[in-house]
Chains A and B, each alone.
Chain A
Amino acid sequence: GAGVSQSPRYKVAKRGQDVALRCDPISGHVSLFWYQQALGQGPEFLTYFQNEAQLDKSGLPSDRFFAERPEGSVSTLKIQRTQQEDSAVYLCASSRLSFSQETQYFGPGTRLLVL
């Protein structure tokens, strides 16, 4: 079946603009994760959903970052008033079950550049 998909793959924004990044998890996957990967670094956790419930948002760097998954499938990460330090690759991952040892499958990422 299809893997995790993300759109857009690349996004250039002017400082102060709002952006929305989309993640389509593998069909039927319960858990969905967002990670931020700065250049030359490992991914860092942002937030986690079990179905439509956002169970952990401890990694969101500021209140400008907001994520939702209203119907328990597609998720959107929104960044308001983008800053240059928001430039990074945003990775989405999904896993089949929650509270389990299931593997997380990653999407190709959205590369965000804020000018």
Chain B
Amino acid sequence: AQTVTQSQPEMSVQEAETVTLSCTYDTSESDYYLFWYKQPPSRQMILVIRQEAYKQQNATENRFSVNFQKAAKSFSLKISDSQLGDAAMYFCAYRSANYFGNEKLTFGTGTRLTIIP
């Protein structure tokens, strides 16, 4: 079974600064997807960024980028130029690429990000 670990329950960053959220995972599969989801206090889970394991290039989406280290099974999220609207719970998630019956997401326990004005 796959597991996802987020070792930082809480993080804080000054507005306009950069912050990195950590995620490690354990799997015996070679092909999979990794995601970062954001969950603001309203609780609607929003996809921030995704990474396909077969791609060596790190994914980027505007101010959000990842550092994907497949051998180390590490998948960190970097948020640049932090904004007040970035305050939320951030969840790292894993999904197998072995599609048949394995489309579920496996989530970590989350990191609560606070933005300091």
Contact = CB atoms under 8 A, between A and B. Distances in A.
Interface of A: 3, 31, 33, 35, 40-45, 48, 55-56, 59, 89, 91, 93, 95, 98-101, 103-109, 111
Contact of A108 (B42, B103, B104, B109): B42
Contacts of B101: 55-56
B109 A59 contact: no
B104 A48 contact: yes
A42 B106 CA distance: 9
Which 4 residue pairs of A and B lie closest in terms of their CB atoms, listed nearest first? Answer: A42-B107, A106-B45, A45-B104, A99-B99
Contacts, number: 62
A48 B105 CA distance: 11
Interface of B (DSSP majority class)? loop
Interface size class of B (residues with CB under 8 A): 20 to 34
Interface of B: 4, 33, 37, 42-47, 50, 52, 91, 93, 97, 99-101, 103-110
Nearest to B45: A106
7 contacts: A35-B105, A56-B101, A95-B103, A103-B47, A104-B105, A106-B37, A108-B42
A40 B39 CA distance: 12
Contact of A45 (B45, B100, B106): B106
Given A33-B103, A42-B91, A42-B107, 15 more contacts: A33-B104, A33-B105, A35-B105, A41-B109, A42-B109, A43-B107, A45-B104, A45-B105, A48-B103, A98-B99, A99-B99, A101-B97, A106-B37, A106-B46, A111-B43
A103 B50 contact: yes
Contact of B104 (A56, A91, A107): A56
Contacts of A55: 101
Contacts of A95: 103
B101 to A, nearest CB: 5
